[in-house]
């Protein structure tokens, strides 16, 4: 009862206002900066390739299934494993470590904002930025992929499984941004240079399907695989990425990933509380 | 508010960066007014300031500012402004945006944030430059916009780390006048600066620190009088400085004399200031020397710094 009263007496409205404004400032800095150009490149390069393919290699209605598989492959092998992974590394590492390197983090730490609110607002800003960039890129990929099929493409989208697949892909992209974002935000507080840790994490994500089921729960991509609307198969070295694992219902995969994100963010908040400004050692 | 809650209190505070000493066992109470932190590079001045504001946490001991600690950031940072010496800003913002963003984060109404931004920018006299990108600012303008950001929310305690760095003489004078005005308005100012002769004019207290250790603290004159191994130096403006010096030597009231370069006065050093002034009054009364002015010549922060720390920064 006492705890409930303590919780109720917290200035939630102030924290919400502060978080909202911090998020707005950070989103502006994330999205409208020349330094973000390479992230736009990562996100939109598949769209550019699909566009070129559509222009120079006209589609036939019989290819829809094949192109649907290609699109699923682009999402699973390119976006989740590379595009969103490295895009989030760039976006979320900048939020704390980048500001330490640029020696501007202290302005935030000297403001009358709880550090947990600051961290969560930065995470929200990074997530919004990443979801906007990669979500719109995937939407564009989808449109371009089926646009070339004309009436058959429209039929696949609006009367077939197209829109459902699009919804799944956008959900996967959003969860990937949240999952990788939380991990890289934590890495950027744990390590002066988070890139080597991110490379190890990339390796961990790659071999995760062949690890014991308990360890598979410590992976972002493992949860996302269960949400794919179209199953993909790869050959050669990449086959390790598509090793079948024990099926998990979609709701359980989403919940599992959200719990993982919450756990990582909770630890990040603890790290944020004890963070010190020592620019000279950066 | 109790008297203790008016003060910045360090209670046996040490800070180590790994094996490197930041400050060691500092116990200190800083009352309201203007306090100057004096010490050579690496003395621990910035560490003390960072400890006050929670940018670093003490390895041992406790720090509180006006009874508040950074553990309650909402209340703490509404009462504190810190103008750091880090010459860096978020990318791509104008001076106006920089100050406005920092106020917006407070959670105050937007109209209030705009009003306080305009007020702070006017106060540091940044003018129309506030609407240009900070990346194009001169060092002095960057210093000004940092100062504007630190005072914009009307803090009760203002901590300034080398606030005169990079300013031209005119801007330095304007800044000092602003600090003096803020001090007169009851703001608690803690200033670190190596431009001692300028800061000294507005300071009420001085804290000397070197190698992470507190050397002396208190009212400047009191600290100076405490340096017993360095007799006080007094400048006496008079018509016969050589005669005055010889009389003072004759009655053992003087240990060193040096004529002023303009010949219209003499610097005398004495180990017993009260007795010295008493004898000086007698000489003035007998009419042999006409005394025009008497003023202490080395009870300022610069002299104290030189006597206690030395030019190389090591304690003497």
Look at residue A263 in the predicted model and tell me its pLDDT.
96
Whether A277 and chain B come into contact, CB under 8 Å, resolves to yes
Look at residue B140 in the predicted model and tell me its pLDDT.
87
Inter-chain CB proximity B74 and A111 less than 8 Å: no
The DSSP bridge partners found for residue B258 are B267
Long-range CB pairs of B278-286 (<8 Å, 24+ gap) are: B279/B248, B279/B251, B279/B253, B280/B236, B280/B248, B280/B253, B283/B244, B283/B247, B283/B248
Residue A38 CA to residue A31 CA, distance in Å, equals: 11
| Chain A residues whose beta carbon lies within 8 Å of the beta carbon of residue B75 | 112
| Chain A residues whose beta carbon lies within 8 Å of the beta carbon of residue B54 | 109
Residue B114 CA to residue B112 CA, distance in Å, equals: 5
How many C-beta atoms surround the C-beta of residue B243 within 10 A?
Answer: 14
Look at residue B312 in the predicted model and tell me its pLDDT.
47
B305 versus A135: which is more confidently predicted? A135
Helix axes B95-104, A12-31, angle to 10 degrees: 150
Helix (H) or strand (E) holding B36: strand B34-38
What is the DSSP-derived secondary structure letter of residue B131? G
Could you say which of B82, B84, B101 has the minimum Cβ distance to residue A25?
B101
Percent of chain B predicted with pLDDT > 70: 93
Look at residue B307 in the predicted model and tell me its pLDDT.
74
| Chain A residues whose beta carbon lies within 8 Å of the beta carbon of residue B149 | 107
A10 versus A122: which is more confidently predicted? A122
Inter-chain CB proximity A104 and B82 less than 8 Å: no
Whether A55 and chain B come into contact, CB under 8 Å, resolves to no
| Chain B residues whose beta carbon lies within 8 Å of the beta carbon of residue A11 | 74
Look at residue B252 in the predicted model and tell me its pLDDT.
78
B134 versus A281: which is more confidently predicted? B134
Query: Does the complex come out with an ipTM higher than 0.85?
Result: no
| Tens-place pLDDT, residues A256-276 | 999 999 999 999 999 999 999
| Tens-place pLDDT, residues B59-107 | 999 999 999 999 899 999 999 999 998 888 988 899 999 999 999 999 9
* A132 band by pLDDT with thresholds 50, 70 and 90: very high
Could you say which of A104, A114, A276 has the minimum Cβ distance to residue B56?
A276
Look at residue B278 in the predicted model and tell me its pLDDT.
85
The encoded tokens of residue B225 equal: 């009088």
| Ranges A55-59, A160-164, A265-269, B43-47, most confident | A265-269
Q: Distance, in angstroms, between B151 CA and closest chain A CA?
A: 12
| Chain B residues whose beta carbon lies within 8 Å of the beta carbon of residue A112 | 73-78, 105-107
Inter-chain CB proximity A106 and B92 less than 8 Å: no
What does the pLDDT average to over A229-249?
Answer: 70
Q: Cα-Cα-Cα-Cα dihedral of B199, B203, B206, B212, to 10°?
A: -50
Look at residue B53 in the predicted model and tell me its pLDDT.
94
- Asked if pLDDT for residue A88 goes beyond 70, the answer is yes
- Asked if pLDDT for residue B313 goes beyond 70, the answer is no
Look at residue B280 in the predicted model and tell me its pLDDT.
86
């Amino acid at each position: 009862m006492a705890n409930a009263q303590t919780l109720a007496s917290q200035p939630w409205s102030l924290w919400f206002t502060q978080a909202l404004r911090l998020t707005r400032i950070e989103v502006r800095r994330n999205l409208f900066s020349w330094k973000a150009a390479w992230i736009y490149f990562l996100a939109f390069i598949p769209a550019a390739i699909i566009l070129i393919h559509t222009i120079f290699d006209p589609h036939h209605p019989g290819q829809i299934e094949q192109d649907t598989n290609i699109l699923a492959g682009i999402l699973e092998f390119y976006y989740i494993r590379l595009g969103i992974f490295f895009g989030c590394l760039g976006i979320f590492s900048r939020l704390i470590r980048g500001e330490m390197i640029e020696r501007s983090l202290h302005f935030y730490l000297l403001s009358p904002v709880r550090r947990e609110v600051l961290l969560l607002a930065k995470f929200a800003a990074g997530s919004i930025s990443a979801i906007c960039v990669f979500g719109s890129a995937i939407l564009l990929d989808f449109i371009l992929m089926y646009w070339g099929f004309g009436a058959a493409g429209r039929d696949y989208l609006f009367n077939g499984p197209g829109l459902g697949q699009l919804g799944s892909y956008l959900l996967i992209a959003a969860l990937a941004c949240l999952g990788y974002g939380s991990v890289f935000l934590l890495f950027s507080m744990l390590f002066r240079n988070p890139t080597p840790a991110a490379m190890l994490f990339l390796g961990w994500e790659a071999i995760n399907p062949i690890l014991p089921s308990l360890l598979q729960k410590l992976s972002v991509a493992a949860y996302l695989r269960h949400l794919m609307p179209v199953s993909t198969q790869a050959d050669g070295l990449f086959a390790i990425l598509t090793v079948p694992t024990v099926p998990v219902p979609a709701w359980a995969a989403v919940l599992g990933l959200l719990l993982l994100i919450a756990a990582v963010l909770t630890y990040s908040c603890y790290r944020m509380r004890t963070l010190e400004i020592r620019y000279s050692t950066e | 508010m109790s008297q203790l809650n008016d003060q910045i209190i360090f209670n046996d505070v040490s800070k180590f960066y790994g094996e490197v000493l930041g400050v060691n066992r500092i116990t200190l109470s800083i009352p309201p007014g203007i306090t100057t932190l004096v010490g050579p590079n690496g003395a621990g001045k910035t560490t003390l300031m960072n400890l006050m504001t929670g940018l670093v946490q003490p390895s041992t001991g406790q720090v509180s500012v006006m009874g508040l600690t950074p553990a309650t950031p909402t209340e703490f940072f509404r009462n504190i402004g810190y103008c750091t010496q880090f010459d860096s800003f978020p990318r791509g913002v104008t001076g106006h945006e920089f100050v406005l963003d920092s106020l917006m984060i407070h959670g105050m109404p937007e109209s209030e944030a705009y009003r306080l931004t305009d007020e702070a920018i006017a106060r540091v006299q940044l003018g129309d430059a506030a609407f240009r990108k900070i990346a194009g600012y001169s060092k002095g303008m960057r210093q000004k916009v940092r100062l504007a950001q630190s005072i914009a929310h009307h803090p009760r305690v203002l901590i300034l780390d080398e606030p005169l760095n990079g300013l031209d003489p005119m801007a330095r004078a304007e800044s000092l006048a602003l600090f003096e005005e803020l001090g007169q308005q009851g703001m608690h100012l803690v200033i670190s600066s190596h431009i001692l002769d300028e800061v000294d004019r507005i300071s009420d207290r001085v804290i000397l620190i070197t190698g992470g250790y507190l050397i002396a603290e208190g009212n400047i004159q009191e600290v100076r009088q405490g340096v017993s191994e360095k007799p006080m130096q007094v400048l006496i403006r008079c018509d016969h400085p050589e005669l005055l010096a010889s009389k003072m030597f004759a009655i053992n009231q003087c240990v060193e004399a040096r004529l002023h370069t303009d010949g219209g006065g003499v610097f005398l050093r004495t180990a017993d200031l009260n007795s010295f002034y008493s004898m000086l009054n007698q000489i003035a009364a007998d009419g042999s020397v006409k005394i025009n002015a008497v003023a202490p010549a080395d009870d300022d922060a610069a002299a104290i710094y030189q006597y206690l720390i030395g030019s190389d920064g090591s304690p003497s």
